[in-house]
Amino acid sequence: MSRREQIKMTPEQVKAFLEEQLTAQVATIGPNGRPHLVPVFYVPRGDAAIATWTYAKSQKVANLRRLPQATVLVESGKDYAELRGVSMECDVTIFEDLEQIVAIGQELTGRMIENDEVATSAGQFIRAQAAKRVGLLFTPTKVVSWDHAKLGGAY
Amino acid 119: pLDDT: 60
- Look at residue 77 and tell me if it is in a domain: yes
Query: Residue 116: CA atoms inside 13 Å, Cβ hemisphere, count?
Result: 0
On whether the CB atoms of residues 15 and 47 are closer than 8 A, the answer is yes
Mean pLDDT of the region 15-44:
97
Mean pLDDT of the region 142-150:
93
Mean pLDDT of the region 33-48:
96
Mean pLDDT of the region 92-98:
97
- Kindly tell me if the per-residue pLDDT of 64 is higher than 90: yes
* Range(s) of the domain holding residue 25: 3-150
- Look at residue 44 and tell me if it is in a domain: yes
Q: By mean pLDDT, which of 69-83, 115-129, 134-148 is the weakest? A: 115-129
- Look at residue 108 and tell me if it is in a domain: yes
Amino acid 99: pLDDT: 94
Q: What average pLDDT does the structure give for the chain?
A: 92
Amino acid 152: pLDDT: 77
Instruction: Return d(Cα 69, Cα 50) in angstroms, integer.
Output: 13
Through-space distance between the first and last CA atoms of the chain, rounded to whole angstroms: 14
Q: What is the CATH number of the domain that holds 119?
A: 2.30.110.10
| pLDDT-based confidence at residue 89 (cuts at 50, 70, 90) | very high
- Look at residue 155 and tell me if it is in a domain: no
How many domains, the chain?
1
- Look at residue 119 and tell me if it is in a domain: yes
Amino acid 110: pLDDT: 84
Mean pLDDT of the region 2-8:
81
| pLDDT-based confidence at residue 4 (cuts at 50, 70, 90) | confident
